[in-house]
Chain A
């Protein structure tokens, strides 16, 4: 069975590790020890997050995401990297570079709050058997599409991330480059280190953009229900992937995401993926965000500026 972790060489980078130093290491160590030595705690219903001036629960900080990019039951082979050694894969350049910089070293450290002692939900949670409710003909098309991705028969069959385009909400990274969440009145902004992506969730709008405006990141409108930020996203452009095994979602995609502040260091995440052109009914994925140690900073992730992937695959385009 293939692992869903597509970029094992990319890790969370801690620019400010020298500034945290031993004290933070100790804190992490204590939390880890505590976490593993205690019985699971009940769910953190009582957790009361700090509030911002406009009343929003404060979920700002730097986090690493876990569990969102998950495999369905009976997945097709990972088309790009079945052996982990595919020279066409952007992840496997001989020099270790490619568009994904591997220069920052160590596996990211995350803080684990009290809630981490409870089992967190990850991966496809609905349906429970992880069999996605594909329309049979669409699943067949998808599997055919995957077979034409390596080598790609044309530009349309190049995985989106290899093109350094905005990745959509899912194709940021799990257990790797972190996410910075900022809030201001009327808005929550999520900055992915991955390919300097960002999305904003508007809290002060009621209507989505016009139907002719189509976006990689979609148009997100949110509201708070207690400690949960509920986000409705439409206006997708039909080009984004969920994962390597699910290489496209359509412009009918409609997401409902729930970000729940579970404890001081954890945001639980659940997304309902409704794409009526591909599936007979919506399905759900869960995951969580774990706060990174104080001092963890965002680093620039240049992608388009260095990549030679398309030229390597297709040859040199004729001069224009």
Chain B
């Protein structure tokens, strides 16, 4: 069905080779919907299909409240793990490590990591909820499909206060559309917060610099250095 460029690299088992360092070039980290510029906020066209997020009424009110309080209420302000899909479009690179039975994504931001099991296993039951979710992957043709569940209700989708509950279910699709581009899609389901599933999509670009390497953005450490530089306080 898909017209893949014939030039993409493949792993020895014939799957598209997603190994590498990747990063988006958009403004979804600030707001996943269409938005104008403000001081410190680059303007941008949204990544949400149709630009509409189908909030239930109470959830729409919470979004407005989050937006008003975003300077302190955004979990990013506390340097917490960003969740999925937000980790994908933070303005920091991430690295995909693609091995046959297991994949991993290492994010530069806050050294967040996801392990993606590719062995056909299901989401385990009965575990505590998590910030980055439980990821189970499979190949559909040349597309890596990652099913992510078992989230807590603490992460946001962006700095504009878009949010979800612990019923969040994310289905990600990674398609190598050229040697240096991934077409990324995330379908968002959360019946406690949204009236229907919705989707965001964006290209992700390979960091093609020679010897590019993920460095460290130790947000928590830097925040502590600032907050506690004059400690003790009592």
A residues near B, CB below 8 A?
15-16, 19, 53, 60, 101, 103, 153-155, 163-166, 180, 182-185, 187, 189, 191, 195-198, 200, 202, 205, 209, 213, 215-217, 219, 297-300, 302, 304-305, 310, 313-318, 320
Contact = CB atoms under 8 A, between A and B. Distances in A.
Contact of A196 (B19, B111, B231): B111
Interface of B: 12, 19, 78-81, 95, 97-99, 102-104, 106, 110-113, 115, 117, 121, 124, 127-128, 130-132, 154, 211, 213-216, 218, 220-221, 224-229, 231-234
Contact of A209 (B95, B213, B228, B232): B213
Contacts, number: 122
A163 B213 contact: no
Contacts of A302: 81, 130-131
A317 B233 contact: yes
Contacts of A305: 78, 80-81, 131, 154
B124 A196 contact: no
Contact of B97 (A187, A195, A298, A310): A187
The list of the 7 closest CB pairs from A to B, nearest first, reads: A315-B234, A314-B231, A315-B233, A304-B220, A53-B12, A300-B130, A165-B221
Contacts of B97: 182, 184, 187, 189, 200
Contacts of A299: 127
Tell me whether chain A's interface is mostly helix, strand or loop, or mixed: loop
Most chain B C-beta atoms within 10 Å of own C-beta, residue among A155, A183, A184, A310: A184
A154 B231 contact: yes
A304 B80 CA distance: 7
A163 B228 CA distance: 11
B110 to A, nearest CB: 8
A60 B98 CA distance: 12
Chain B CB count within 10 A is highest, among A101, A166, A195, for A166
B162 to A, nearest CB: 20
B115 A297 contact: yes
26 contacts: A16-B121, A19-B121, A60-B99, A166-B218, A180-B104, A182-B104, A184-B98, A184-B99, A187-B19, A187-B97, A189-B106, A197-B111, A197-B113, A198-B111, A217-B216, A219-B213, A297-B124, A300-B131, A302-B81, A302-B130, A304-B78, A305-B78, A305-B131, A314-B234, A317-B227, A320-B226
Could you tell me the dominant secondary structure of chain B's interface residues?
loop
Nearest to A160: B221
Contacts of B106: 189, 191, 198, 200
A313 B213 CA distance: 36
B229 to A, nearest CB: 7
With a 10 A CB-CB cut-off, give which of B81, B95, B104, B111 has the most chain A CB atoms: B111
B56 to A, nearest CB: 26
B216 A215 contact: yes
Given A299-B127, A305-B81, A163 B221 contact: yes
B160 to A, nearest CB: 21
A315 B231 CA distance: 8
Contact of B233 (A15, A164, A316): A316
A15 B124 contact: yes
A182 B227 contact: no
A304 B79 contact: yes
Contact of B232 (A154, A182, A185): A154
Nearest to B103: A182
A191 B81 CA distance: 16
B233 A314 contact: yes
